[in-house]
């Protein structure tokens, strides 16, 4: 049901072109979760402070909870679901699994996005660089060590 | 059996981690169903007041509003495990800012929120008490003036806002203080800490036309929630089905109810599914925290470091309702001696009502507070005695066969081995670290630690499938700690199968066998025991059938890895598949196993200790450990950075070492936050920092860059599955005192109050 | 957020000014990092959101012929942090930009959004004041330019009038090739500053040529005292002068108690961080001096 001030937008979402109406106040996070049923991106704080809603917009990690959906018209959005390659976990996602970097899993989607972006820009980051890329991604379970391990392992695997 | 293992001791990847890493795992708020309404809760805007009237007129005009509930619409019941002082929605009075007063269900979240804001409540403001000092002051206003009328599980004396007091006495401290060569005494203060699970609390309640209701919610136990909904809303448990979605962390914060009864009440009122998901701020204001405490403690020792006496008095700020406070207080008291022998000890404890959100269970359960005091005192003693701090602890460390405070016998204990392992690593590795930056001072600090693993009832069902694989069921909710992997590992190992051969069912009160809660570091130990025993029962039946098939004695049979039963020393064997097929179709019926038990370990010993008003009479097996930290303190700002942590744990046996390490590292960082950063702050009865903007938890840059975990498997627990004990809570317990001791080592400032914010550290340095 | 809120993406600044001048409750949407967070928290409910992302070139960072750098209001923090055309004291801008929030926030947030939000604990207000920057403002009444130190008026308040928008920040050239140091103290990674110090120090032949020190987080707006700065010019940098300077600045402070620290702590930190910032800037000067002679 659309209303008079709803805004039609077209965006590329996980590689496929989508047309949708959104409300002026609707955030990208709400559009993803409620509009597209892509519940991988999580609402941990709705203030941009926990990182669980992070997605790639035009290739860069951004907070979907702080992004007004209407501003995504014409842009490219990738969520954690879009990191899958041929229906399988990406190298980075698989490394999170193998290294023990996934515990409760609520921060994992945002972490996977941030680290995927890092490895695209810097295929061989050291542990300090990895921690900097994780900055602003809150995880209460892991103590971050195994998440950093995972990024190192993924970098190694991609490089081999 | 041979030494080879098929599943236990292997660092198998968490079985649910692929779904989580791919974004497909469903948490409570990820569920939406057709016709679903959104719920919103109006929290009290004031800390203490009488509700004169509630006007719903305006709220009802909001388009899309379907149901609005206040206490008048609910059964008039008070509930609670220890003292029945709680209600679902405020009835007559409110006692903290954020306390649920009314609830709305509407077609959209926005409509529900708007309507909740438009509910007009006319309050008569009453005086409030928002700290221990205010609550304990003479003539302080009472949080519960009618508390003596509440139903209680134990007739403990009350005194003003003190609603529970307990005591322990062993030996006679008063008689021996004069014989001590050194005595240290201080008062310690610890803050309210927010659990900060990454997933805010949420519940989806779906009624059906037959009068049953299904609840998917953020909870550490499906059975506890089922019971609590039944109790609060007077619905038979048979009409409530609780199903566990994925849970985004708990740490004790999802131990009790959050919004489930309110969601169920709204669903019943509207006849439609209702989902309530709290905002982060509501989650912080409405639910629970770790108990803020004040602890006065005195310890005396001989010149050689032998502990002689300790006296402690603990005040736990419980917030507005009892919740689990008597248990948290009791356990904190019980941990006031720590993992050391000391013959003369007196502990008194009090739980105090204040007009703040409830304090409840939180990883460590009263122990981190007591251990902060206790291990700070040991450090001060070591300084006075000019003794190595690890040596002092080693000298007094408990050993197998010793008794915990209260008299419970400790059968497995690797405390000394943990201290030795820590000592060795610190000696090797501290000096190898790069030096502190200019202007920063480095310090090393240690702490011993201990905790329990156990409590209460649990059970498991297991059955052999037609192809020789296995289906396992328990009622254990995996809140991120890894039981969905570890319990199948125990089952697999018992049958010498690989982990992949075990299907593990999601938890559902309609079909899962009972488990109390994912709490008390108990799952690997208690549910693991149940799984193992159920599987052993099934294994016996498998072997009996195999003996029939192979026409030999059961005693001549052994299990090969991979689901084969073989005659020892012969080439005659039969596979699980063949055994299962025979059972399914011809002889004896499907092969199943089941086991149920309640923790049955040693109890307190009244001959050793005089104890009054304890919330429980036995707990579990004890686990031990030691933690060391290196900190750098910026003498310009007081900023303290934990550079490296070594955490040694008497784990009995690590079922999944990688998972154990992850638990330890996570707990350590939660402890770093507790020590340096995290504090809920109230002003005029209102929580001033209910957001991640104002309440900071460590991120990857704040956390130590290295956390070395040492798993000490030298003292397997005879009653545990494959020797295992629990690890969930222990690793947070010693972190704050180790850091405080390191700050002292770096600067000479002894901080007795946490969090050790930069401001407090700088003030400590400047007042030297 | 009222259900009646509207959203627009005008393509000219004139359109923006026209929309703003007609509606005091309209808000410009730049990166969203602060504005949307406040909307989500229910602290702000604009009647309309005017997205600036379609305005051509508003995010450009340009080195001008006179040596100044013009930063468009929509320039993202990460782009400013990575811009290599800053020289001398101008570099205080990138030094501050790379300390804002977290990586994803730096991909979103803009310099225009940050300075218009005017949080005295934020990084840009302090940095652009230390850079002697000029803010270009466009309104329905025309354009005007305001020095950074006059741009900030009070807590979360700027000199912008209704119908006006900040379109760029111009960083003047620094012929003295000063060193910079941005000293930011936070409780936790990525937080706003408890206290921050932006220092620009240029020295030649052992005497101070450029001296600008601005403190954030200790008053309703960045604290700066050009008169007290002037004392340093033409003299060697002496510890005793720095102590006096800090004492003089303290008289201009009006700190508050909040979750990031008490007023007392902020006042304790200020001289300590000023001294540290100047020492680090001076060390950089020595390094670059020796680099030149080598």
Model confidence pLDDT, tens digit, residues C158-179: 999 999 999 999 999 999 999 9
Of A5, A67, A133, nearest to C103 by CB-CB distance is: A133
Does B642 contact C at CB distance below 8 Å?
no
Of C29, C39, C102, nearest to A136 by CB-CB distance is: C102
Calculate mean pLDDT across residues B324-329: 97
Total domain count, chain C: 2
- DSSP assignment, residue B527? I
Which CATH number does the domain housing residue A143 bear?
1.10.150.120
Based on the fold, state whether residues C114 and C165 are members of the same structural domain: yes
- Tell me: the pLDDT tens digits for B298-310? 999 999 999 999 9
pLDDT score recorded for residue C287: 73
Of A81, A107, A145, nearest to B23 by CB-CB distance is: A81
Based on the fold, state whether residues C183 and C165 are members of the same structural domain: no
Report chain A residues whose CB lies below 8 A from the CB of C110. none
Q: For residues B528 and B518, what is the distance between their CA atoms, to the nearest angstrom?
A: 12
Q: For residues B458 and B474, what is the distance between their CA atoms, to the nearest angstrom?
A: 8
CA B25 from chain centre, in angstroms, equals: 23
Instruction: Output the CA torsion sign for B282, A108, B727, B218.
Output: positive
- Tell me: the pLDDT tens digits for A14-58? 999 999 999 999 999 999 999 999 999 999 999 999 999 999 999
pLDDT score recorded for residue B3: 57
Q: How many CB pairs under 8 A join A and B?
A: 181
pLDDT bin (cut points 50, 70, 90) of residue C293 is very low
Report chain A residues whose CB lies below 8 A from the CB of B658. 100, 146
Helix axes A145-159, A91-98, angle to 10 degrees: 130
Domain's final residue, options C141, C171, C201: C171
Based on the fold, state whether residues C129 and C13 are members of the same structural domain: yes
Q: If you measure CA to CA, which chain A residue comes closest to C6?
A: A24
Do residues A41 and A80 make contact, with C-beta atoms less than 8 angstroms apart?
Answer: yes
pLDDT score recorded for residue C285: 81
Percent of chain B with pLDDT over 90: 96
- Tell me: the pLDDT tens digits for C50-77? 999 999 999 999 999 999 999 999 999 9
The tokens of B609 are what? 């200790």
Contact check, Cβ <8 Å, B481/A103: yes
Neighbours of chain C (3+ CB pairs under 8 A): A, B
* Domain span including residue A51: 7-80
pLDDT score recorded for residue C70: 98
**Which of A9, A25, A50 would best serve as a mutation to test chain C binding (most C beta carbons within 10 A)?**
A25
Contact check, Cβ <8 Å, C188/B758: no
Which fold is adopted by the domain B31-126+201-277? Aldehyde Oxidoreductase; domain 3 (3.90.1170)
Q: For residue B644, give how far its alpha carbon lies from the nearest alpha carbon of chain C (Å).
A: 17
Of C33, C41, C49, nearest to A24 by CB-CB distance is: C49
Contact check, Cβ <8 Å, B762/C265: yes
pLDDT score recorded for residue C291: 47
Q: For residues B158 and C274, what is the distance between their CA atoms, to the nearest angstrom?
A: 55
Based on the fold, state whether residues C217 and C163 are members of the same structural domain: no
Q: If you measure CA to CA, which chain C residue comes closest to B756?
A: C187
pLDDT score recorded for residue B137: 97
Query: If 0-12 CB within 10 Å is exposed, 13-18 middle and 19+ buried, where does residue B230 land?
Result: middle
Based on the fold, state whether residues A44 and A102 are members of the same structural domain: no
Based on the fold, state whether residues C160 and C275 are members of the same structural domain: no
Report chain A residues whose CB lies below 8 A from the CB of C25. none
Q: Residues near B401 by Cβ (< 8 Å), separated by ≥ 6?
A: B409, B410, B411
pLDDT score recorded for residue B4: 83
The tokens of B209 are what? 């036309």
Q: If you measure CA to CA, which chain C residue comes closest to B698?
A: C188
Q: Is residue C193 domain-resident?
A: yes
Calculate mean pLDDT across residues B356-368: 97
Based on the fold, state whether residues A75 and A105 are members of the same structural domain: no
Q: For residues B539 and B492, what is the distance between their CA atoms, to the nearest angstrom?
A: 11
Residue bearing tokens 């803050």 = B191
Contact check, Cβ <8 Å, B639/C262: no
The CATH number of domain B17-24+456-598, selected from 3.30.365.10, 3.40.50.1970, 3.40.50.300, 2.30.42.10: 3.30.365.10
Total domain count, chain A: 2
Which CATH number does the domain housing residue C135 bear?
3.30.465.10
Q: Is residue C51 domain-resident?
A: no
Q: Is residue C110 domain-resident?
A: yes
pLDDT score recorded for residue B467: 95
Instruction: Output the CA torsion sign for B490, B496, B497, B499.
Output: positive
Contact check, Cβ <8 Å, A136/C190: yes
Do residues A151 and A130 make contact, with C-beta atoms less than 8 angstroms apart?
Answer: yes
Per-residue pLDDT at B1 exceeds 60:
no
- Tell me: the pLDDT tens digits for A56-100? 999 999 999 999 999 999 999 999 999 999 999 999 999 999 999
pLDDT score recorded for residue A3: 64
Contact check, Cβ <8 Å, A80/B480: no
Q: Is residue C50 domain-resident?
A: no
Of B549-558, B607-616, B638-647, least confident by mean pLDDT is B607-616
Per-residue pLDDT at B139 exceeds 60:
yes
The tokens of B383 are what? 């300084």
Q: For residues C150 and B738, what is the distance between their CA atoms, to the nearest angstrom?
A: 49
Contact check, Cβ <8 Å, A140/B22: no
The tokens of A50 are what? 């926990």
Instruction: Give the domain ranges of chain B.
Output: 17-24+456-598, 31-126+201-277, 289-454+603-766
The tokens of B254 are what? 């999802």
Query: If 0-12 CB within 10 Å is exposed, 13-18 middle and 19+ buried, where does residue B758 land?
Result: buried
Does A2 contact C at CB distance below 8 Å?
no
Based on the fold, state whether residues C141 and C218 are members of the same structural domain: no
Does A25 contact C at CB distance below 8 Å?
yes
Q: For residues B532 and B538, what is the distance between their CA atoms, to the nearest angstrom?
A: 10
Of A34, A52, A80, nearest to B198 by CB-CB distance is: A52
- For chain B, the average pLDDT equals 97
Do residues B67 and B269 make contact, with C-beta atoms less than 8 angstroms apart?
Answer: yes
Q: For residues B177 and B341, what is the distance between their CA atoms, to the nearest angstrom?
A: 16
- The SS3 assignment for B540 reads helix
Does C261 contact B at CB distance below 8 Å?
yes
pLDDT bin (cut points 50, 70, 90) of residue B2 is very low
Residue bearing tokens 């020796």 = C290
- The SS3 assignment for C99 reads coil
- The SS3 assignment for C188 reads coil
Contact check, Cβ <8 Å, B669/A79: no
Query: If 0-12 CB within 10 Å is exposed, 13-18 middle and 19+ buried, where does residue B684 land?
Result: exposed
Based on the fold, state whether residues C275 and C137 are members of the same structural domain: no
Which CATH number does the domain housing residue A70 bear?
3.10.20.30
Contact check, Cβ <8 Å, C272/B637: yes
Q: Is residue C259 domain-resident?
A: yes
Domains B17-24+456-598 and B31-126+201-277 share a fold: no
pLDDT bin (cut points 50, 70, 90) of residue B212 is very high
Contact check, Cβ <8 Å, A141/B666: yes
- What phi, psi does B462 have (nearest 5°)? -145, 145
**Which of A27, A32, A40, A106 would best serve as a mutation to test chain B binding (most B beta carbons within 10 A)?**
A106
- Tell me: the pLDDT tens digits for B666-718? 999 999 999 999 999 999 899 999 999 999 999 999 999 999 999 999 999 99
Q: For residue A93, give how far its alpha carbon lies from the nearest alpha carbon of chain B (Å).
A: 6
Of A27, A47, A60, nearest to C107 by CB-CB distance is: A60
How many Cβ atoms sit within 10 Å of the Cβ of residue B45?
15
**Which of A62, A74, A78, A144 would best serve as a mutation to test chain C binding (most C beta carbons within 10 A)?**
A62
* Domain span including residue C261: 179-293
Contact check, Cβ <8 Å, B110/C265: no
Q: For residues B543 and B556, what is the distance between their CA atoms, to the nearest angstrom?
A: 10
Q: For residues A93 and A150, what is the distance between their CA atoms, to the nearest angstrom?
A: 9
Based on the fold, state whether residues C244 and C108 are members of the same structural domain: no
Of B110, B702, B766, nearest to C188 by CB-CB distance is: B702
Residue bearing tokens 């629990």 = B726
Q: Residues near C283 by Cβ (< 8 Å), separated by ≥ 6?
A: none
pLDDT score recorded for residue B724: 97
Q: For residues B193 and B451, what is the distance between their CA atoms, to the nearest angstrom?
A: 19
Q: For residues C274 and C259, what is the distance between their CA atoms, to the nearest angstrom?
A: 22
- Tell me: the pLDDT tens digits for B435-475? 999 999 999 999 999 999 999 999 999 999 999 999 999 99
CA B273 from chain centre, in angstroms, equals: 31
Contact check, Cβ <8 Å, A136/C108: no
Report chain B residues whose CB lies below 8 A from the CB of C242. none
> What SS3 string covers B566-622?
EECCCCCEEEHHHHHHHHHHCCCCCCEEEEEEECCCCCCCCCCCEEECCCCCCCEEE
Which CATH number does the domain housing residue C190 bear?
3.30.390.50
Contact check, Cβ <8 Å, C103/A7: no
Report chain C residues whose CB lies below 8 A from the CB of B110. 3
Q: For residues A44 and A138, what is the distance between their CA atoms, to the nearest angstrom?
A: 9
Q: For residue B37, give how far its alpha carbon lies from the nearest alpha carbon of chain C (Å).
A: 19
Does A21 contact C at CB distance below 8 Å?
no
Q: If you measure CA to CA, which chain C residue comes closest to B113?
A: C42
Contact check, Cβ <8 Å, B699/A136: yes
Q: Is residue A85 domain-resident?
A: no
Per-residue pLDDT at C1 exceeds 90:
no
Q: If you measure CA to CA, which chain A residue comes closest to C108?
A: A62
Do residues A5 and A24 make contact, with C-beta atoms less than 8 angstroms apart?
Answer: yes
Based on the fold, state whether residues A12 and A73 are members of the same structural domain: yes
Interface of C with B in 85-114 (CB under 8 A): 102
Per-residue pLDDT at B544 exceeds 80:
yes
Does C280 contact B at CB distance below 8 Å?
no
Based on the fold, state whether residues C256 and C190 are members of the same structural domain: yes
pLDDT score recorded for residue C294: 36
pLDDT bin (cut points 50, 70, 90) of residue C108 is very high
Report chain B residues whose CB lies below 8 A from the CB of C45. none
Domain's final residue, options C147, C171, C195: C171
The tokens of B172 are what? 């006679």
Percent of chain C with pLDDT over 70: 97
CATH code, residues B289-454+603-766: 3.30.365.10
**Which of A135, A145, A147 would best serve as a mutation to test chain B binding (most B beta carbons within 10 A)?**
A145
Of B14, B279, B658, nearest to A46 by CB-CB distance is: B279
Q: Is residue C52 domain-resident?
A: no
Tell me how long chain C is: 294
- DSSP assignment, residue B545? H
Calculate mean pLDDT across residues C106-129: 97
pLDDT bin (cut points 50, 70, 90) of residue C140 is confident
Does B637 contact C at CB distance below 8 Å?
yes
Does A24 contact C at CB distance below 8 Å?
yes
Q: For residues B5 and B654, what is the distance between their CA atoms, to the nearest angstrom?
A: 13
- The SS3 assignment for B235 reads coil
- Tell me: the pLDDT tens digits for B90-126? 999 999 999 999 999 999 999 999 999 999 999 999 9
pLDDT score recorded for residue A5: 79
End-to-end C-alpha distance for chain B, whole angstroms: 63
The full DSSP string for C105-174 is: HHHH-BHHHHHHHT-TTSHHHHHHHHTT-EEEEEETTEEEEEEHHHHEEETTEESPPTTEEEEEEEEPP-
Q: For residues C132 and C169, what is the distance between their CA atoms, to the nearest angstrom?
A: 10
Domain's final residue, options C153, C171, C189: C171
pLDDT bin (cut points 50, 70, 90) of residue C289 is low
- The SS3 assignment for B697 reads coil
Q: If you measure CA to CA, which chain B residue comes closest to A107?
A: B198
Query: If 0-12 CB within 10 Å is exposed, 13-18 middle and 19+ buried, where does residue B439 land?
Result: middle
Percent of chain B with pLDDT over 70: 100
Q: For residue B380, give how far its alpha carbon lies from the nearest alpha carbon of chain C (Å).
A: 28
Interface of C with B in 137-166 (CB under 8 A): none
Calculate mean pLDDT across residues B508-522: 97
Q: Residues near B545 by Cβ (< 8 Å), separated by ≥ 6?
A: B579, B582, B583, B587, B588, B591
């Amino acid at each position: 049901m659309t209303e008079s001030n709803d805004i039609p937008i077209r965006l590329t979402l996980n590689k496929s072109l989508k047309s949708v109406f959104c409300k002026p106040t609707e955030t990208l996070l709400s559009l993803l979760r409620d509009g597209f049923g892509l519940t991988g991106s999580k609402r941990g704080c709705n203030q941009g402070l926990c990182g669980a809603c992070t997605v790639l917009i035009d290739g860069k990690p951004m907070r979907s909870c702080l992004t007004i959906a209407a501003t995504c018209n014409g842009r490219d959005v990738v969520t954690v679901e879009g990191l899958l390659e041929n229906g399988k976990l990406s190298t980075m996602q698989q490394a999170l699994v193998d290294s023990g970097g996934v515990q409760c899993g609520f921060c994992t989607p945002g972490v996977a996005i941030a680290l995927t972006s890092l490895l695209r820009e810097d295929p061989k980051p050291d542990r300090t660089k990895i921690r900097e890329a994780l900055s602003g991604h809150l995880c209460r379970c892991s103590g971050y060590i195994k998440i950093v391990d995972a990024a190192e392992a993924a970098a190694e695997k991609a490089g081999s | 059996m041979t030494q080879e293992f098929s599943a236990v001791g292997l660092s198998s990847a968490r079985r649910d981690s692929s779904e989580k890493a791919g974004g497909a795992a469903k948490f409570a708020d990820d569920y939406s169903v057709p016709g679903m309404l959104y719920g919103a809760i109006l929290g009290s805007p004031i800390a203490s007041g009488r509700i004169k009237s509630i006007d719903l007129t305006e709220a009802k005009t909001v388009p899309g509003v379907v149901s609005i509930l206040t206490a008048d619409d609910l059964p008039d019941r008070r509930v609670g495990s220890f003292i029945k002082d709680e209600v679902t929605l405020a009835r007559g009075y409110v006692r903290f800012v954020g306390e649920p007063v009314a609830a709305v269900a509407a077609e959209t979240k926005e409509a529900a929120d708007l309507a909740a804001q438009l509910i007009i409540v006319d309050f008569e403001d009453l005086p409030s008490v928002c700290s221990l000092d205010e609550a304990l002051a003479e003539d302080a206003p009472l949080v519960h003036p009618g508390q003596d009328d509440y139903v209680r599980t134990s007739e403990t004396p009350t005194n003003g806002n003190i609603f529970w007091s307990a005591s322990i006495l062993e030996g006679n401290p008063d008689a021996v203080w004069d014989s001590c060569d050194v005595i240290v005494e201080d008062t310690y203060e610890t803050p309210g800490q927010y659990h900060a699970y990454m997933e805010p609390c949420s519940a989806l309640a779906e009624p059906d036309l037959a009068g049953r209701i299904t609840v998917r919610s953020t909870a550490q136990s499906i059975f506890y929630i089922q019971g609590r909904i039944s109790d609060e809303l007077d619905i038979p448990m048979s009409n409530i089905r609780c199903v566990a979605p994925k849970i985004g962390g708990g740490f004790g914060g999802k131990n009790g109810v959050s919004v489930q009864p309110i969601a169920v009440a709204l669903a019943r009122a509207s006849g439609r599914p209702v989902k309530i998901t709290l905002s982060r701020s509501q989650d912080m204001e409405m639910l629970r925290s770790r108990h803020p405490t004040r602890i006065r403690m005195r310890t005396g020792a001989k010149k050689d470091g032998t502990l002689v006496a300790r006296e402690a008095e603990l005040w736990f700020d419980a917030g507005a309702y009892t919740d689990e406070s008597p248990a948290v207080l009791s356990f904190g008291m019980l941990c006031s001696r720590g993992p050391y022998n000391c013959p003369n000890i007196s502990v008194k404890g009090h739980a105090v009502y204040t007009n703040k959100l409830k304090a409840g269970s939180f990883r460590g359960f009263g122990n981190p507070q007591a251990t902060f005091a206790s291990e700070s005192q040991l450090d001060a003693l070591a300084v006075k005695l000019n003794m190595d701090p690890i040596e002092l602890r080693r000298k007094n460390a408990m050993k197998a066969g010793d008794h915990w405070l209260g008299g419970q016998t400790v059968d497995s204990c690797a405390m000394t081995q943990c201290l030795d392992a820590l000592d060795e690593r610190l000696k090797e590795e501290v000096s190898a670290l790069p030096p502190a930056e200019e202007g920063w001072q480095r310090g090393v600090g240690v702490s011993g630690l201990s905790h329990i693993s156990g409590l209460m009832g649990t059970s498991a069902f297991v059955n052999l499938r037609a192809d020789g694989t296995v289906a396992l069921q328990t009622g254990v909710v995996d809140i991120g700690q890894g039981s969905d992997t570890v319990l199948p590992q125990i089952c697999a190992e018992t049958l010498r199968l690989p982990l992949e051969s075990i299907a593990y069912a999601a938890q559902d009160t309609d079909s899962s066998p009972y488990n109390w809660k994912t709490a008390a570091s108990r799952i690997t130990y208690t549910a693991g025991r149940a799984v193992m025993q159920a599987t052993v029962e099934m294994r016996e039946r498998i072997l009996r059938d195999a003996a029939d098939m192979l026409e030999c004695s059961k005693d001549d049979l052994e299990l090969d890895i991979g689901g084969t039963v073989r005659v020892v020393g012969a080439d005659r064997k039969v596979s699980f598949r063949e055994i299962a097929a025979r059972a399914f179709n011809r002889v004896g019926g499907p092969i199943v196993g089941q086991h149920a038990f309640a923790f049955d370990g040693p109890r307190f010993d009244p001959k050793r200790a005089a104890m009054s008003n304890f919330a429980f009479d036995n707990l579990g097996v004890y686990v031990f450990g030691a933690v060391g930290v290196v900190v750098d303190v910026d003498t310009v700002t007081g900023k303290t950075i934990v550079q490296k942590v070594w955490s040694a744990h008497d784990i009995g046996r690590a079922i999944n070492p990688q998972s154990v390490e992850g638990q330890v590292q996570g707990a350590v960082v939660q402890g770093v936050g507790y020590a340096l950063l995290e504090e809920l702050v109230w002003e005029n009865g209102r929580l001033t920092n209910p957001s991640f903007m104002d309440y900071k938890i460590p991120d990857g840059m704040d956390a130590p860059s290295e956390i070395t975990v040492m798993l000490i498997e030298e003292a397997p627990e005879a009653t545990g599955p494959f020797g295992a004990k629990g690890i969930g809570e222990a690793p947070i317990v010693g972190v704050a005192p180790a850091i405080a001791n390191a700050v002292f080592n770096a600067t000479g400032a002894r901080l007795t109050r946490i969090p050790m914010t930069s401001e407090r550290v700088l003030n400590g340095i400047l007042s030297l | 957020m009222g259900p009646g809120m509207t959203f627009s993406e005008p393509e000219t600044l004139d359109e923006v000014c026209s929309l703003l001048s007609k509606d005091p409750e309209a808000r410009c949407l730049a990166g969203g990092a602060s504005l949307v967070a406040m909307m989500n928290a229910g602290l702000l409910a604009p009647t309309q959101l005017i997205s600036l992302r379609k305005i051509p070139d508003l995010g450009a960072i340009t080195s001008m012929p006179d040596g100044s750098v013009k930063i468009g209001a929509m320039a993202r923090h990460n782009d400013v942090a990575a811009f290599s055309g800053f020289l001398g004291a101008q570099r205080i801008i990138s030094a501050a930009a790379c300390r804002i929030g977290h990586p994803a926030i730096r991909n979103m947030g803009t310099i225009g959004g940050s300075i218009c939000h005017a949080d005295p604990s934020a990084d840009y207000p302090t940095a652009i004041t230390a850079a002697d920057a000029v803010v270009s403002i466009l309104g329905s009444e025309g354009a005007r330019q305001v020095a950074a130190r006059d741009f900030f008026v009070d807590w979360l308040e700027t000199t912008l009038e209704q119908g006006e928008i900040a379109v760029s920040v111009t960083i003047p050239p620094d012929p003295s090739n000063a060193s910079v140091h941005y000293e930011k103290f936070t409780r936790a990674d990525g937080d706003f500053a408890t206290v921050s110090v932006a220092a620009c120090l240029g020295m030649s032949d052992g005497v101070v040529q450029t001296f600008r020190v601005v403190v954030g987080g200790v008053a309703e707006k960045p604290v700066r005292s050009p008169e007290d700065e002037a004392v340093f010019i033409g003299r060697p940098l002496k510890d005793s002068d720095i102590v006096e300077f800090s004492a003089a600045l303290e008289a201009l402070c009006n700190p508050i108690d909040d979750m990031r620290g008490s007023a007392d702590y902020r006042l304790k930190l200020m001289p300590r961080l000023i001294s540290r910032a100047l020492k680090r800037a001076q060390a950089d000067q020595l390094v670059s001096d020796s680099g030149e002679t080598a």
